[in-house]
Amino acid sequence: MEVLTHPKIVHKNGHEYWEGKYRICSKCIYNDKIPAITFDENGECTYCRMVEDLAEQYKTGTPEGEAEWLRIVEQIKKAGKNKKYDCVIGVSGGTDSSYMVAKAIDWGLRPLAVHYDNTWNTAIATENIRKVLQKLNVDLYTHVVNNKEADDIIRSFFKASVPDLDCATDIALAETLYRAASKYGVKYILEGHSFITEGVSPLGTLYMDGKYISSIHKKFGSMKMDSYPNMPFWTFMKWIIFKRIKKVRPLWYIDYNKEDARAWLEKEFDWQYYGGHHLENRITAVHHSFYNPVKFGVDNRNNTLSAKARAGLMTREEALEEYSTKPHMESDLIEYFKKRLELPDEEFDEILKQPLKSFRDYPTYKKRFELLRPMFYILAKAHLVPMSFYLKYCFPLGEKKTNK
Ligand SMILES: [Zn+2]
């Protein structure tokens, strides 16, 4: 199968359309194929508005935003007094997380780096983690899953025909971070997420929760879930309500330029770039560069490219031009995927052709998150869950979202 191409925009009835039929935002490159998208009188989309609202609320990149972040740093130091570490930071070997560890040291914090090894790491990622942590003298806590079990879960998601092929890695990282924090009595998790450089990924293109993972694995898997660190609802509640472990995102407050950060990492740590957002891990690379574009016609590069257009780091035309190139992928990646998952060509092609499904077709916690929306709003305000969790998980699709 061929990877989709993305023709230029055409003008029709005073609006702009992609492929001649999908209306496109006047500020970023999102179009109305994206779930829950609407356009305002200026033609700007829901997600541009969401990012604008967040920037206003967090005063991102302004002196007030920076001052607010430094106040949080003082709280982190206070909460971590007399403990070996005062925060934990998930590391993947990618730009944002590597930068986060280095910045934490600058702020005078004592981080413990945490890595969830899904056994699909690229050699570059493993080396990047080692180089940065060694130079900064930061300890590493790692959870390695049994590789057969990891593959069984990935194969289950592939067979389930849902777009969230690799969401098991994200849930496992979240759980590993909580376990590490709990083990050392740490109250703060620093996350390297930036809504300015990544946007807020639209619901419907990526969903994850602990029940989604166990229900799909139960239906399509063949091994017992044993070494995989899943996060059922009550475990999630234990971490946020009883242990009160907070998640904070420094890049929501401070000025952050990803290209500058990358250049700085290369210079300071002999750190190496791996070719694109999320490509430091082989399974995330399959997910973003092959599986989603080919099976779902969804190319997740539109998140970072839209973010760049929004932030004025590239023009919308430049973003569309880059979007129309084929996603970067190692040449033998798909062969590696088939071989590891023991999927003969015929079976692989057949599964790929099966009808599209989504998280709505399997048991998840989505309805429960919606019912508990007021509670999650309070938890988000107290930094116990990210505000983006509240906005993405606690509203039914299509309902107007507000963080006010
Ligand atoms: Zn937009």
Q: Is 231 left (phi over 0), alpha (psi -120 to 50) or beta?
A: beta
Question: How far is the C-alpha of 348 from the C-alpha of 183, rounded, in Å?
Answer: 41
Question: How far is the C-alpha of 380 from the C-alpha of 388, rounded, in Å?
Answer: 8
pLDDT of the residue at 9? 72
Regarding predicted confidence, which is higher, 80 or 296?
80
pLDDT of the residue at 7? 54
Q: How confident is the model at residue 130 (pLDDT cuts 50, 70, 90)?
A: very high
pLDDT of the residue at 203? 63
pLDDT of the residue at 297? 85
- Sorted by where each begins, the domain ranges of the chain are 60-298+331-364, 373-404
Regarding predicted confidence, which is higher, 304 or 149?
149
Interval between CA 16 and ligand 1 midpoint (Å): 12
Per-residue pLDDT at 2 exceeds 90: no
Interval between CA 305 and ligand 1 midpoint (Å): 11
Interval between CA 20 and ligand 1 midpoint (Å): 18
Interval between CA 193 and ligand 1 midpoint (Å): 19
From the list 89, 294, 337, 285, the residue with the least C-alpha distance to 169 is: 285
Interval between CA 146 and ligand 1 midpoint (Å): 41
Interval between CA 250 and ligand 1 midpoint (Å): 24
Read off the pLDDT of residues 288-297 as tens digits, 9 standing for 90 and up.
899 999 998 8
What mean pLDDT do residues 248-263 have?
94
3-state secondary structure of 277: coil
Interval between CA 113 and ligand 1 midpoint (Å): 34
Read off the pLDDT of residues 116-129 as tens digits, 9 standing for 90 and up.
999 999 889 999 99
Read off the pLDDT of residues 376-390 as tens digits, 9 standing for 90 and up.
999 999 989 988 789
Read off the pLDDT of residues 300-354 as tens digits, 9 standing for 90 and up.
888 889 999 998 989 988 898 888 888 878 889 999 999 999 999 999 999 999 9
Q: Are strands 87-90 and 22-23 parallel, antiparallel or unpaired?
A: unpaired
Interval between CA 202 and ligand 1 midpoint (Å): 11
Interval between CA 167 and ligand 1 midpoint (Å): 25
Interval between CA 319 and ligand 1 midpoint (Å): 12
pLDDT of the residue at 86? 98
Interval between CA 309 and ligand 1 midpoint (Å): 9
Regarding predicted confidence, which is higher, 252 or 1?
252
Per-residue pLDDT at 401 exceeds 50: no
Interval between CA 123 and ligand 1 midpoint (Å): 36
Those residues whose C-beta lies under 8 Å from the C-beta of residue 331, and which sit 6 or more positions away, are none
What mean pLDDT do residues 357-380 have?
96
Interval between CA 17 and ligand 1 midpoint (Å): 13
Instruction: Give the homologous superfamily in CATH for domain 60-298+331-364.
Output: HUPs (3.40.50.620)
Interval between CA 25 and ligand 1 midpoint (Å): 5
17 membership: H or E segment, kind and range: strand 15-18
Regarding predicted confidence, which is higher, 104 or 325?
104
Interval between CA 38 and ligand 1 midpoint (Å): 9
Q: How confident is the model at residue 260 (pLDDT cuts 50, 70, 90)?
A: very high
pLDDT of the residue at 1? 42
Per-residue pLDDT at 255 exceeds 70: yes
Per-residue pLDDT at 204 exceeds 70: no
144 membership: H or E segment, kind and range: strand 140-144
Interval between CA 369 and ligand 1 midpoint (Å): 26
What mean pLDDT do residues 28-47 have?
90
Interval between CA 46 and ligand 1 midpoint (Å): 7
Interval between CA 39 and ligand 1 midpoint (Å): 8
Question: How far is the C-alpha of 49 from the C-alpha of 69, rounded, in Å?
Answer: 23
For helices 316-323 and 301-310, angle between their N-to-C axes, nearest 10 degrees: 170
Interval between CA 59 and ligand 1 midpoint (Å): 20
Per-residue pLDDT at 47 exceeds 80: yes
Interval between CA 254 and ligand 1 midpoint (Å): 22
Interval between CA 35 and ligand 1 midpoint (Å): 13
Mean of all residue pLDDT scores within the chain: 91
Interval between CA 211 and ligand 1 midpoint (Å): 31
Question: How far is the C-alpha of 254 from the C-alpha of 251, rounded, in Å?
Answer: 5
What mean pLDDT do residues 38-46 have?
93
pLDDT of the residue at 402? 47
3-state secondary structure of 11: strand
